[in-house]
Amino acid sequence: MDLTQRQERVLACVVAGYSKTGEPVGSKAVSEELGVSSATVRNEMAGLIELGLLEQPHTSAGRVPSQRGYREYIDRLMPPKPLEEREKRIFDSMLLGSAHDPEGLLLRAAQLLAGASQCMAAATTPNGAGTVIKAVQFVQTARRRAMLLLLSSAGSMKTKVFRCDFDLTPELTRLFFRVFNERVTGKRAEDITPAFAQSMAASLGEMYVLLGPPLQALLETARDTAETQVLLSGQMNLLFYPELEQRGVRRVLDFLERRENLLRLLEAKPGKAQVLIGREIGRAELEDVSLAVARYQVDGQDAGSLCTLGPVRMDYPRLTAILEYLARQVGGLLTGLSREGQE
């Protein structure tokens, strides 16, 4: 859409003002910001209304951006808003506290995003499709208990405590380690099925008596690794936006209860954060909100998403900067975990 330079400045000013206050923006405020007369601003606003980029909620009220106006702003007018180094250091220190636990790290990223945006945020665990098992570790936790740790190529780590009917020894845990890594390392997590377990048990002969409990633990951790999970934070933040109303928030929360719905929406392309506004999302429950998504990578491969969902009047320059930064940092930390598991 071809806009004059003045129309672009008026639209950007209305978007910024409405995003900050939630109140319609009047011509006087815009004229003071741009240094032109109120009459000039009103003429430009009238033209933007005709183009479908602004709306006038009430006869005597100011103007607000339409969803189409927000799209024009994001695609063509949105200025970059880099994070301050101080803010980056705060994010980094918070993430590092959970860097040893992939799911804990992703949940922390969602919590940071929800807190910074004052919206709902979510993170998905690394995509399980095609995920390869990198290593299986065993840690004895009691006389007859041990923990199986399954490390994947996507940077995830799943654990399961199992109990044996006999006393464990260092020699037995080394046997578990050798047998399991010889037979499952390099295989896809989705291929570790009950049929695979039965075949493996049959090939173990008399050793199956010893390896039955850890084999069951392997089945469960492989299944969890192959499934993508959605970690949510900040759902109640949506209650503080009057434009969403209670019924609208309830519809959004009901939608989020069905995690598979959100998973389908988060299949964005890697790279910069992407924003879907209202009706662009394609769901009636989400027509009054916006969804911003950034993908993270593990070892150079697309792995999962960070996203935030909130009212259409979000601070998009700041939001996209936070999303992209957190996605890069999460991907880097998960890559480090994945490589540690290979050593």
CA distance 37 to 43: 10
Helices (H) and strands (E) in the chain, counts: 12, 10
Q: Compute the chain's Rg from CA coordinates.
A: 26
**C-beta separation of 119 from 106 below 8 A:** no
Which residues in the chain land under pLDDT 50? none
- What is the reported pLDDT for 128? 65
CA distance 78 to 76: 6
Sign of CA dihedral 44, 47, 53, 58: positive
- What is the reported pLDDT for 129? 61
- What is the reported pLDDT for 271? 64
Sheet holding 145-152, edge to edge: 133-140, 145-152, 157-163
Residue 82: CB atoms within 10 A of its CB come to 11
Closest C-alpha among 241, 245, 261, 247 to residue 311:
241
- What is the reported pLDDT for 136? 93
Closest C-alpha among 39, 45, 36 to residue 18:
45
Q: Is 136 exposed, middle or buried (0-12, 13-18, 19+ CB in 10 A)?
A: buried
Both tokens of 243, joined, read: 């434009």
Could you give the domains of the chain? 5-77 (1.10.10.10), 85-126+228-342 (3.30.450.40), 133-226 (3.30.390.10)
CA distance 271 to 296: 8
Both tokens of 280, joined, read: 């662009």
- What is the reported pLDDT for 138? 94
Q: Of all helices (H) and strands (E), which one includes residue 138?
A: strand 133-140
CA distance 9 to 5: 6
